[in-house]
Amino acid sequence: MILEQYKVQEANEQHLAAHKRHFEFVAASVSDVEALLQKLVDFQVAIPSWALGTGGTRFGRFAGGGEPRSLEEKMEDVGLLQQLNNSSGAISLHIPWDIPSNYNSIKALAAQHGLKFDAVNSNTFQDQPGQEHSYKFGSMQHVNKAVRKQAVDHNIEVIKHGVELGSESLTVWLSDGSCFPGQLNFRKAFQNTLESLQEVYAALPENWKMFVEYKAFEPNFYSTTVGDWGQSFLYASKLGDRAYTLVDLGHHLPNANIEQIVSLLLMEGKLGGFHFNDSKYGDDDLTVGSIKPYQLFLIFNELVEGMDARGMNHASDLGWMIDASHNVKDPLEDLLQSVEAIMCAYAQALLVDRKALVAAQDANDVVAAQEILQNAFRTDVRPLVAEARLRTGAALQPLQLFRAQKIRQQLVAARGSKTVATGL
Ligand code: PSV
Ligand code: MN
């Protein structure tokens, strides 16, 4: 074990007095602090198996050392995160980057670290060695039925892996589209994709959900066949009750009002899951909350309002995942920062005075509405999030403990400085 539990307690004791002071200060102005803390304790964000190593761009990749060399080591890394913050209790696998070789031992390892298997992700955006047909011109949209069938079969294979592990959802992200005008017949591409998705949907176990993830551009730069929430919504609606739209924060055209998208998808019962990250320009896959924390808060504000309106369970009724890439930071430190940003935005959204906001909206009191939202956003909720961690035996200061215990150095010593993880 890299981090003995008593070391977490020892570190917490050092920070306890200061923490109590900060916590009591903010808790004094929260109406039902116990209920809020319970929601924070329950909220878990899945960690992507493809983001535990250093990411890269097409210009290069600068690995940092100690990266997980296998699925088992990736699970250990997520276990570490969970030990530190108790908000990372699930892993989302990408197939074929992370095919489990032995289901029972992987499940035992997950249980040992207190982890669940979140959505499984298929990959028809890369050709795999030995694959019969190429995805160069798309997968589910392809003009050739045999290519479409190969993509459908792969997705069914991914579901089978997920069933073995106890996963209950499949995320389909398609890079399908076109790079030049005239390359595709949009209608045929849509219909082929729909037909392929229908075949995958038919293979979905009864208790499973299917998430259709959209993305505006990249790798195709003229059109994308699931290019925006409207198209994803169309597929999901035609597929059936267990198909939903998945929102990845980096997959919109500049300045899109993501909070409004989220609100309407929730209203229609078609929001299924989330991929959190942050961006300045496109699908930058940066640390959550590092560029636009107010937007993140506004999204959570709509999530909380919309889920409450439908009587949904915040923790379990939507799929919460991170989808980021860590090019210059230590991936584990970056993930700790991302989870903290998500928890803070969620806590701030829980603090919004809903009654007062409705009254302000009904009175067209624009100034009051802004004050109510910004009052919540400007509250330093970090002591609330830390208190939720403390109560579950996790670290008051996860990042500081990660560094103090020299966890990366220990990982480098155990795994080597030249390891490269599969993934982005
Ligand atoms: C595509 O950009 C994406 O957001 C999809 O979720 C993929 O599964 C993931 O990134 C990894 O490439
Ligand atoms: Mn994504």
Which pLDDT tens digit goes with each residue over 104-143? 999 999 999 999 999 999 999 999 999 999 999 999 999 9
- Among 323, 422, 424, residue to substitute to test ligand 1 (most atoms within 8 Å of Cβ): 323
The per-residue pLDDT for 63 is 87
- Is residue 287 within 8 Å of residue 334, measured between CB atoms? yes
Q: Which of 232, 247, 353, 369 is nearest to 304 (CA)?
A: 353
Q: Which amino acid, 341?
A: A
Whether 283 and 323 have beta carbons less than 8 Å apart is answered as no
Burial degree of 396 (CB within 10 A; 0-12, 13-18, 19+): buried
**Which one of the ligands is nearest to 226 CA?**
1
Cα R_g (the chain), whole angstroms: 22
**Cross-strand pairs, 246:** 213, 273
Q: Are 63 and 53 in contact (CB under 8 A)?
A: yes
pTM of the model: 0.98
Could you tell me the domains of the chain?
A: 5-415 (3.20.20.150)
Bridge partners for 60 per DSSP: 57
Q: What is the pLDDT of residue 197?
A: 99
Which of 59, 81, 40, 66 has the alpha carbon at shortest distance from 322?
A: 81
Q: Is the CB of 248 under 6 A from ligand 1?
A: yes
E strands of 120-205, at which residues? 120-121, 169-173, 177-178
User: What would the pLDDT profile of 267-307 be if each residue is shown by its tens digit?
Assistant: 999 999 999 999 999 999 999 999 999 999 999 999 999 99
Per-chain mean pLDDT for the chain = 97
pLDDT of residue 424: 63
Q: Which ligand is nearest to the CA of 325?
A: 1
Q: Which of 127, 272, 105 is nearest to 204 (CA)?
A: 272
8 A C-beta contact, residue 382 and residue 29: no
Question: CB 229: neighbour CB atoms within 10 A?
Answer: 25
Per residue in 49-64, pLDDT (tens digit) is 999 999 988 899 998 8
| Pairwise CA distance, residues 87 & 290, whole Å | 19
Establish whether residue 213 lines the binding site of ligand 1, counting it when its CB lies within 6 angstroms of any ligand atom: yes
As a whole number of angstroms, the distance between CA 352 and CA 360 comes to 13
Nearest in space to 345 (alpha carbons), one of 369, 312, 308, 381: 381
Q: State the pLDDT confidence band at 420, using cuts at 50, 70 and 90.
A: confident
Q: What is the chain's percent helix, strand, coil content, to nearest 5?
A: 50, 10, 40
- Would you tell me how many other CB atoms lie within 10 Å of the CB of residue 421? 26
Tell me: pLDDT of 423 over 80: no
DSSP code of residue 170: E
DSSP 355: H
Per DSSP, the three-state class of 312 is: coil
Ligand nearest to the CA of 219: 1
Residue 98 Cβ < 6 Å to ligand 1: no
Strands 177-178 and 223-224: antiparallel
- Cα distance between residue 193 and residue 143, in whole Å: 10
CA distance 275 to 257: 16
The values of phi and psi at residue 322, to 5°, are -95, 145
Q: Is 232 in the pocket of ligand 1 (CB under 6 A)?
A: no
Return the residue whose CA atom lies nearest to atom 10 of ligand 1: 323
> Mutate which of 210, 275, 283, 320 to test ligand 1's pocket (most atoms within 8 Å of Cβ)?
275
Nearest CA to ligand 1 atom 5: 173
